[in-house]
Structure 1
Amino acid sequence: MGTPLYDITIYYNGNVIKDAPTDWDFRRTVNYIADFYHDRLNGYKPAKTGRICIHLGPTKNWDKPNYFGSICSYDNVIDENKYLTLSKSQKYKYILDILHLTVIEIADIYDWDKSVFNNAYKHIIESDFKFEKYYPEKKSKDRKHIGQIVLVKTEEKSKLYASIRTGDSSIKKVLLEKNNWYWFDSTYNFAKNCKWLDNSSFGLYKNGKNCYFSTNHNRTISDLTFNENDF
């Protein structure tokens, strides 16, 4: 299967756009799009590639991608002055286009499955850049309830929702909310591990901490807390 592709990162090598830590707008924009794109690859594993690093600047300096271990690095041009004139949604589209074209160029060189990347690009466009990830439905042991986790991300926040169906009725409540740490974010792992803890509690129990929606109490019960820098 090869090394999992655990990260796509976009770097900026110019001087026109302010980047972190001076200004976080560009950094949040590219991190959000790269994380969204990476997640929509649905676990696809390019051969011998664990990470893709894309360097953007006013000029293109590399003839081909280069590898350091399993890290694949390549560069492309960003029109910095054009970027600064765009609206937020236009910035998302511009960065996504550069990211996708760069990855497709790499895929051509190394014979990766381009359909996976094309599908990721298409999904993000069709979703209007709204990050919503739906996890598989799970039935309670008594078969009375169906629970599903929905992960919703913005540039700054990650939220896990518990969506519960009981007969013809349904309810959707926030399980947890924390700062978004993009591809490192712990909400991905939390979402995968949510389950019916009993016939009325849907969520997770981790390291002695609870975070679940109770159908008996019709509310979220949680002692999980997150500080500003908690992944």
Structure 2
Amino acid sequence: MSDEVPLRLRTEETRAKTIASYGGLLIPVAILVATQMFNDNRLAAEGQRRASEQLLQNSQRCVSDSMTYLDKAFDESSTSETLKEERRQRIATLGGLLVQVCSDGGLKLPPTLVAQLQEAKTQSTDPATRDAATQALKASQAPTAPPAADLLRVYFHISREDQRPAARKLELWLEQQTPQKRVLVVPGIELVPGNKSPDVRCPLPSDCPVAGEVAKLLNSQLTSPLLPAKANDMGGAYAASPTIRPGTIEVWFGAAEISVKP
């Protein structure tokens, strides 16, 4: 009987063990993302900023911890070809797991890992390992998250909980738009009871022109309420605040029912 089947089984077993080992490192990141998604009504703008920063920190920690684990698990100076090949297999799998984490955190793969993926791609005797390393390297070359200055963050504010479904529909639509060719995200929908009038606010004067474009985009989807065509310039009152970043816009829907065009 050929040794190919046992080798393939060992390869798949190694890959499964690697995913089980490293997959757990992604749990803190997944928890943070889920928390942001489902608790948006409880997160104020400052809380959302901290959550985003925590996500980035966990991404960085994930990369660092994974590389440390790998270095401890395998001795690079080993002359055993079996150990070298197993290391290549784990490198290829680790690279695939970390590419998305790095991308979500706006990071690139560490140069050390890139070099090891290159080595796995060219020197592994296992076609599956070479392919996995190739795919990880290809994915790592894709653009990472846009620079903070190019990102638009549009915070939605509702005054009644029953406005949330319509606001959520607008959120999903708006995130597909690119005003001034900029990537746009809606970090959350915050419930602020008592606000009666629709408004679009720009905490920093430099963001008022694009805030007006956001208002125009939203009005194209609304039958009520209609947002002011001109953004409310907050007069630079937050210019010195470290918590307000360029590209921050607030949309307040007021107390009226939010009606979205079919």
User: Which of the pair has more CA radius of gyration?
Assistant: 2
Q: Which structure exhibits the higher relative contact order, with contacts defined as CA atoms closer than 8 Å and separated by 6 or more residues? A: 2
Instruction: Compare the two structures and name the one with the higher strand fraction.
Output: 1
Alignment TM class, shorter chain as reference: under 0.3
TM-score by length of 1: 0.27
Q: Which structure shows the higher helix fraction?
A: 2
